[in-house]
Amino acid sequence: MFGQAAVTPRLFDRTQLVDGDVVTDFLRALGIEDLAPEPEGPRNPSLRADVQELIRRYNAHVEARGVQDRPRLGPLLRDERYWGRGRMPARAEAEGFLARFAAGNERIRATWFPERATLFGMDFPRYPEAEDTAATADARVLAAALDVLVDLGAAMQEAEAERRMALGRHAQAEGRMAEARSQFSRVLRAAEGHRGATKALRELDAAEGLTPGGQSTRVARKKDRTGRARKDRTGRKVGEGKARKADAEGGATMPQDARTERKARREARSAEAGRAERRAARKASRTAKDAPRPG
């Protein structure tokens, strides 16, 4: 469409690229000299041979199971621990592979790169006479798979922590503080030392008048599993009346919502006791009416 003169082919060979970088080479081919990509690490590093074999087996297994939306391992393999020398085919295998494209490569060389003896310089002596199968042995592949599983578990744990953080923030914004505290606490169980969750719990503690850890600023009366009142630090049992007196003398205050909740419980117990007395009175009245009269 544009004619041969409008096409500028480039060899995708690191030794032939400007600065060994495909982006820089592309910019220079366009005549852009004052723009360069930010320096960074390898964009497409080679994976170790055992990791390559793991991916090959994984893809075959997923295909055999008929999984449509294939989970990808790529994001997990960006760690430098998985980089290294990849699989090296035997020399004869590499030569045979290149021979399949010899005719087409020669036409391109003659048309666009006549100054080159061959289109691509192939260093076949660097390939082994026989493929090294030790790197792809089952034991090596299993070890690589276990490393990936550990990283996958950590990634899932991190994702779960972020999900819980979002739920906690949403509950906090809607005033559901108990649920928010529960979500933030779960974050810490999933990711110990999570800064966001730790900070959020401290904010909740401060808003509710609690010390770090969720304890009331006063010596609160607690119930053990049997429902009996526990003792305070002095060894004496703390009742509601004594606790209020201790608050007044020590200057400590109970959060407003805690006092409201305690008052509501007392009123509920009083109402229930009143209903029980009225039921007993009605029952006694019916029993008296039904009793046989003398004479």
Residues 6+ positions from 215 with CB-CB distance below 8 Å: none
| Tens of pLDDT, residues 196-224 | 999 999 988 888 876 555 554 443 444 44
Out of 50-54, 234-238, 274-278, least confident range: 234-238
Q: What is the mean pLDDT of residues 116-137?
A: 86
The top-scoring range by mean pLDDT among 15-29, 32-46, 134-148 is 134-148
- Label residue 22 by pLDDT band (50, 70, 90): confident
The more confidently predicted of residues 121 and 49 is: 49
The more confidently predicted of residues 144 and 4 is: 144
Q: In this structure, what token pair is assigned to residue 109?
A: 């060389």
Q: In this structure, what token pair is assigned to residue 211?
A: 């010390």
Given a cut of 60, whether residue 195 has pLDDT beyond it is yes
Given a cut of 70, whether residue 251 has pLDDT beyond it is no
- Tell me the pLDDT of the chain averaged across its residues: 79
Single out the residue of 229, 255, 257, 261 nearest to residue 242, CA to CA. 229
Q: What global pTM score does this model have?
A: 0.53
Q: What is the mean pLDDT of residues 73-88?
A: 86
- Label residue 41 by pLDDT band (50, 70, 90): low
The answer to whether 247 and 254 are in contact (CB under 8 A) is yes
Q: What is the mean pLDDT of residues 18-36?
A: 84
- Label residue 290 by pLDDT band (50, 70, 90): low
